[in-house]
Structure 1
C-alpha cells in the first residue's frame, strides 16, 4: 500500500485567527510574568493501542496550550494541529506560528528546527 499525502487543513476561520492572536499575546505575557498563567489542570490519558498513557497539563489563562508528560515532555496547541514544540521552541517557533496564523491566515508547513513535526 502506498502512503497518501496528508489531507490539507481547511483555511483558518476568522474566529481561529482571532483566537491565535489572543493565544500569542497571552503566551508572551505569561513568559514575561509567570504569575499570569492561571490555574493548572492535569489529566491522565490512557491509550488502548499501544498500551501507554500521557499526562496532559493545561493552564486557565493560556487557552489551547497543552504540555504533554511534564517539563521534559513537549507542547502542542489546538490551533496548530499536527505540530509539537520543545520548551525551547515556544518563544522562537510556536508564538511566531500563532502570530502568522492570526495576521496572515498561514499555518506552518515545514519544521524550522530540523526535527520532524
Structure 2
C-alpha cells in the first residue's frame, strides 16, 4: 500500500476521508445479468463473513482490554482511563462521524470491567 504524506483539500477542510481502496474488503461482483436474488444472496454471505470477522476482532479487543485493566489495577491504577476513552471516541468520530461515537461507546462498554471473558461459541 502506498502512503501519501500530503493532505487532500478535503482533509485540510476537516472532512472525513474513506480508507484507501486497497484497505477495503471486496464484496460480490456487481450485477452483470444475474438475477437480483443471486446478487442479494452473495452480498448477504459477504456481510455475514464480515460480521463474523468483526465479532472475532471485538472478542480480541475485549481480551486485550482485560489485560490492560489487570495491569493498571496491579500497578495501583484505576480500571478505566477516561482520557484514553476520549481518544478512542474521537478516533471513531473522525473516521465514521456521529455514528462512530455510538460504535465506540458500545465497544468501550463491552470492554469495561470484565472479571472474566467467555470466548464465543464456535
TM-score between both structures, scaled by the size of structure 2: 0.27
**As a proportion of its length, which structure holds more strand?**
1
**As a proportion of its length, which structure holds more helix?**
2
